[in-house]
Amino acid sequence: MMLAVDVGNTNIVIGVYKEKELITHWRVSTQRHRTSDEYGILALQLFRYDGLDPADISAVVICSVVPPLTPSVEEMSRRFFKTEPLVVGPGVKTGIDIRYENPREVGADRIVNAVAAYEKYRGAVIVVDFGTATTFDAISAEGEYLGGAIAPGIGISSEALFQRAAKLPKIELMRPKYAIGRNTIASMQAGIVFGYAGQVDELVRRIKKEMGGNPFVVATGGLASLVAPETKTIQEVDPWLTLEGLRIIYEKNLSYY
């Protein structure tokens, strides 16, 4: 079995694959000061909860956008799973031609998403990843990573509104019933969710125009299921796209790893 670990700024998403099948997955909060031992014990507890044996893990692949945490997760793999991990980064075979001006600037998660999306749709595709930041990534019909856009995530936007406006409360992010809110909470939810959906649609529209043709649009990330239904441009939500990309990249590197 293979352990896939996607380390994000807000959450760490963990998946266990048996060959090509994702048999279980977990989402835990990112704690930058946790040690490799703390993450290892947490992982063992999750395995025990789902009735899995850590000894069955023969491969670990990691994608991280939190550099201070990467060594801890790598050491967790070595100590608790007895496996040298494959960490997605420069030198790792992805099969994607990166057209960014400086390829090293592209977040590993964005490349992993591009790999999974191109493998799945086999054509031009736009990936919208709703994480701490919301990223928009354009992949050509030839499998080239063209670049994209980065916007503040919906969670960040909501938190900033609460912190900077003294009379506005901290709210739960959920779908509003109406665009015309009848109280402060409903008004904030309408502005944040519907407003964010409009932002997504406009960015996707512009990216499509620059790409030409009619690329498929897929969304992923923890808040995709909240925003995507309110958009006109997102065609599918795949919450485990990044984990799937990690699995594919591991398979591409088997002969090198």
Active site residues: 109
DSSP letters spanning 75-144 = HHHHHHH--PPEE-STT---S-EE-SSSGGGS-HHHHHHHHHHHHHH-S-EEEEEESSEEEEEEE-TTSE
130-160 burial by CB neighbour count: b if 16+ within 10 A, else e? bbbbbbbbbbbeebbbbbbeebebbbbbbee
Structure tokens at 5: 């670990």
User: What is the helix (H) or strand (E) element at residue 13, kind and residue range?
Assistant: strand 11-18
User: What is the helix (H) or strand (E) element at residue 248, kind and residue range?
Assistant: helix 241-252
62-85 burial by CB neighbour count: b if 16+ within 10 A, else e? bbbbbeebbebbbbbbeebbebeb
CB neighbours of 119 closer than 8 A, spacing ≥ 6? 244, 245, 248
User: Which amino acid, residue 236?
Assistant: E
